[in-house]
Amino acid sequence: MCHVYICGMTSQPLFGQPLALIDRIVEVLGDEATKEDAVLTTSFSMEDQVLTWAVLEAGLDIDLVSLDTGCLFPATLQTWKDTERFFGVEIRALRPDSGALDSAGLSQIYASTEGRKACCNARKIMPLKAACSGKKWWLTGLRQAQSENRQSFQHIEEAPAWGLRKFHPLLEWDDAAVEALVSSSGVPVNPLYQLGYSSIGCAPCTRPVLPGEDARAGRWWWESSAKECGLHRS
C-alpha cells in the first residue's frame, strides 16, 4: 500500500493526480518490486524528479540510476547531489567505458549525425543497456508534450532491443501538472531551467530553448533530426 503523505515533508494527504500516479506505478510494477525487477533512469529533469518522488513515496526499492556521461553541466551534477540529500538515497552513476570513448570522442559530434550518435551510444546507450540487463521494467519520465516525436509513445511499450518493457507513467501529464507537483513536494530543481533550458542533457549538446520552440529543440540544435539520443528509439 502506498504512502499518502509527501515524503514526510508535509502532513497534508495526497489526492487527485499525485495519488493516481503512485497507485498506477504500484499497479504496474507490483508493491514488492526490487532493484532486480525495475530501473528508473533520471537526468534530474522536473519530470524525473516527480517520478523519483512517486516511486519512493510508493515505498518501492527499485534501481535508481543516472548517466554520468562525463559531459554534464556542473549545475546538473549539483542537482544530483541535492536530490540524493533530499530523498536520502543513492542514485547510482552509470559511466561510459573509456575504451568505447576512444572511437567516439566529442570532436565528432558536430561533424555528422552519425558521429554524434556514436558519442551518445558510448556515453549513454551502452552503460544503460548493461544496467538494464535482467530487468523487467524501465521507468522513464517521458511526456508526449516534450516533442512531436513523442506523441506516438504509449504508456507501456515493448522494448525488445533492451529485453524489457518501458513504462512512461507521466506520458500524458502537461507542464502545469509537473510544475505543480514539483512545487508541492519541494524536490530540487536544476537551476538551468531558470536560464531557458527546458530539456537538459550533456553540456556540448544542449542550448536554451528559444520562444516558440518545443521543449527539446535545444538538444543537438545543429541537426534536423528527431532530437533523440537513441535511448528511446528502440
Catalytic, 202? Answer: no
Question: What are the structural domains of the chain?
Answer: 16-205 (3.40.50.620)
List the pLDDT tens digit at each of the 234 positions of the chain.
333 334 434 434 444 689 999 999 999 999 999 999 999 999 999 999 999 999 999 999 999 999 999 999 999 999 999 999 999 999 999 999 887 776 666 777 888 888 888 889 999 999 999 999 999 999 999 898 776 766 778 889 999 999 999 999 999 898 999 999 999 999 999 999 999 998 899 999 999 998 888 888 888 888 876 555 545 554
Q: Which residues, including other chains, have CB under 8 Å from residue 204's CB and lie 6 or more apart?
A: 71, 106, 109
Q: Which among 119, 120, 132, 229 is annotated as catalytic?
A: 229
Backbone angles phi, psi at 172, to 5 degrees: -100, 5
Nearest to 232 by CA among 178, 136, 168, 145: 168
Count the neighbouring beta carbons within 10 Å of the beta carbon of residue 116. 23
